[in-house]
Structure 1
Amino acid sequence: MKALLFLICSQFLVRALSAADLSSSGPFKVTIMEFPELTDAHRENRKVPIKVHLPDGRELCPIVVISHGAGGDWDTHFAQAQHLASHGYAVLCLEHIGSNLERMRQGMRFMKNLNEMIRDSNEVLGRPKDVSLALDCAAEWNGSHPKLRGRLDLQQAGVMGHSFGAFTTMVVCGMRPALDWLTPRVKPGKGLGPDLRDRHVKCGVALSPQGADEPFFIRESFASLKVPLLGISGTEDRQQGGLPASNRLDAFKLWPEGANRFIWLTNARHLDFTDSTGSSRRAMSSPTREDVQPIVRAATLLFFNSHLRADSEAAKQLQGVLLKPYLRGVVTNVEVLR
């Protein structure tokens, strides 16, 4: 009898979630504002360009800061930012100047530049500080900017990133970077690096989260996670240095107990987790991106609603059986691990 009741309830929830279609745009129109000349006076005036996606209206908006991967820019997640903003979030898309597209293209030595930037101590340890600067800017804008004043809920801030941006997200949420592979060397040269957590951040979403091993984390890095974190990866999402996709999943066992979740998608590839659609600067293509994005958008929105809006129903919906309506094409299965 209990099994039958559970099945009936599950089928009802699946139908309700399908009707809502959380992967589609929300009710708000979105305004875009660009701040290309922002600098951090505490870091030799490092430039930190930010593009803001703001829902129209007067409502107070939770904040999501987005960090792109190596070789990206502030438009790498354009469509995802638009999606979140259309559902009522103020989205701040960063551009990390030491690991952006311009840096990747220098001398047209793409792989050499990639390997250098993900081991560059200034960039590896500097990216989380870019996120903190963005939140400092949000506080300033909330008090004085003509279009942003009174719109930004500084008490409800999350962060999201892909690949190198996933690393950035994980560190901002409390995980500790490894020093082992950084150049120039940072004392003591091995082991855990500094605590770069931003205490304004209430939760995070790591797309293609890093596992243990070169170049970002060691096994001890994960235990210091302080806020709820959602990881999303897939069976074809290989890691740096030839490590298999399963290395990302295996590291989830090292995350501390709590409200953390890990979504594992069959046949999802690395570049599927970004989407620059709608921007003038298109990111690298992937043949399976359109199959992956619906479930990523729905899951991301549910997770942020759960932790930045205290939406208890959203928390209940973040489970495998209720995400199955978003499966498309080659993505034939979804697991939600706790």
Structure 2
Amino acid sequence: MPLCLALATLLLTIVVPTAQAQSRQAGFERRVTADGIEVGIWYPASGTPVHQRLGLYTQDVVPGARVPQGSRPLIVISHGTGGDFAGHVDTATALARAGFIVAALTHLGDNWRDNGRATRIEGRPAALSATISYMLHAWPGHASIDPDRIGAFGFSAGGFTVLAAAGGRPDMTRFADHCAQRPAVFVCTLLKSQPRALKSGWPPMADPRIKAVVVAAPAIGFTFDRAGLAAVRIPVQLWRADDDRILPASFHADAVRDALPNRPEFQPVLGAGHFDFLAPCADPTSTPQLCQSAPGFDRTRFHESFNSEVVRFFSNKLSRGS
């Protein structure tokens, strides 16, 4: 073989795998909608990723990457009480690298900057739906989204949010008995700090554009009974932290599992605490309550399997023709 041909062959063996690897990256941008909702957006990209700090977390994304053409599924992400759009950055980037467009909103009045409306939880599903509408119509890359393949991911209060957006109808009067017996639990101390009248009835909030949901450590699961979740007929992947001391599973994740009309894809996580569904922090010592796991629980290793399972679920349930 001539020397020049041998060199060309060697270069191809090096360049082609590198190009394939670069094509499986995530682009990222932050936008604010006309309604004032902050949205982090991840999407499939090619190029060389850059390591960035994002709040408590880090990410490897391609800055300034173009949104790819095509018709891609959309996943919207709803964070927990007092969080923001960045809390599930590793899950978002994993989905983007798998071909999804991802939009994570920061809930107005229920984030780390302003938590003054945290108990006005009925505003959350509407904000999630508004984010979907923004992505489908106002986001500059909207032509790349398949409006028939939309999923939602929610953690904690975000888990409640996506269940309500999927058709769940909670009975908020159940708080009275729950908090009378357990006044020191998180949801009851939050309600005491931000008191409000909790009436029966729940306004229609189902968003038929959502075709599948992933729910991690959902909040106030006890407000749902079988009638309240009877309309949730789309596929559900439900995650439980077995050592959840913020939202004990028996009143939250397990209550949701028992009330769903169709059996969810149930994923219990041995040894996990409530906040282990958040992305691994850049510096776990900076915010120990959120960032540090119990001794013996490896959050980084867990998230490798967690993200893989979330990607698999949405890939199966939002495939064309599913």
Structure 1 residue matching 2:228: 3-state secondary structure: helix
Contact between 1:237 and 1:268, CA under 8 Å: does it hold in 2? yes
Contact between 2:225 and 2:259, CA under 8 Å: does it hold in 1? no
Query: Residue 271 of structure 1 aligns with which residue?
Result: 275
Alignment of 1:308-319 (within 5 A): 308-310=318-320
Query: Residue 229 of structure 1 aligns with which residue?
Result: 236
Deviation at 1:310, TM superposition (A): 4.9
Query: Residue 291 of structure 2 aligns with which residue?
Result: 285
Q: TM-score, normalised by structure 2?
A: 0.71
Q: 1:252/1:308 Cα in 2 relative to 1: closer, same or farther (>3 Å)? A: same
Aligned AA (1:92): A
Deviations, residues 87-131 of structure 1 (Å, cap 9, x unaligned): 110000100021101124xxxxxxxx6xx72xx2xx311110111
Query: Residue 257 of structure 1 aligns with which residue?
Result: 262
Deviations, residues 127-184 of structure 1 (Å, cap 9, x unaligned): 1011111111112146xx2xx1421111100000100111101111111133324854
Would you say 1:64 and 2:75 are equivalent positions? yes
Pick from 29, 35, 44 the counterpart of residue 33 of structure 1: 29
Query: Residue 39 of structure 2 aligns with which residue?
Result: 50
Pick from 295, 298, 303 the counterpart of residue 305 of structure 2: 295
Q: 1:310/1:263 Cα in 2 relative to 1: closer, same or farther (>3 Å)? A: farther
Alignment of 1:1-338 (within 5 A): 28-36=24-32, 38-40=33-35, 47-56=36-45, 57-104=68-115, 117=118, 120=119, 123-141=120-138, 145=140, 148-180=141-173, 181=175, 184-185=196-197, 189-190=199-200, 192-210=201-219, 212-213=221-222, 216-218=223-225, 220-240=227-247, 244-247=248-251, 248-257=253-262, 260-275=264-279, 284-287=290-293, 288=297, 289-310=299-320
Aligned AA (1:254): A
Deviations, residues 194-242 of structure 1 (Å, cap 9, x unaligned): 22111100010001024643xx5456422221311111112102354xx
Q: Which has the larger radius of gyration?
A: 2
Deviation at 1:28, TM superposition (A): 2.1
Sequence identity percentage: 24
Aligned AA (1:81): A
Structure 2 residue matching 1:205: 3-state secondary structure: strand
Alignment gaps of 5+ in structure 1: 1-24, 41-46, 105-112, 313-338
**In structure 1, C-alpha distance between the alignment counterparts of 2:245 and 2:224, rounded to whole Å:** 16
Deviations, residues 4-55 of structure 1 (Å, cap 9, x unaligned): xxxxxxxxxxxxxxxxxxxxx995222112112x243xxxxxx211111111
Deviation at 1:286, TM superposition (A): 2.6
Structure 1 residue matching 2:121: 3-state secondary structure: helix
Query: Residue 5 of structure 1 aligns with which residue?
Result: none
Alignment gaps of 5+ in structure 2: 1-20, 46-67, 176-190
CA RMSD, 1 decimal: 2.7
Contact between 2:82 and 2:110, CA under 8 Å: does it hold in 1? yes
Structure 2 residue matching 1:236: 3-state secondary structure: coil
Aligned AA (1:235): D
Deviation at 1:58, TM superposition (A): 2.2
Aligned AA (2:318): L
Structure 2 residue matching 1:94: 3-state secondary structure: strand
**In structure 1, C-alpha distance between the alignment counterparts of 2:314 and 2:214, rounded to whole Å:** 8
Query: Residue 16 of structure 2 aligns with which residue?
Result: none
Q: 1:310/1:266 Cα in 2 relative to 1: closer, same or farther (>3 Å)? A: farther
Aligned AA (1:202): K
Q: 1:50/1:185 Cα in 2 relative to 1: closer, same or farther (>3 Å)? A: same
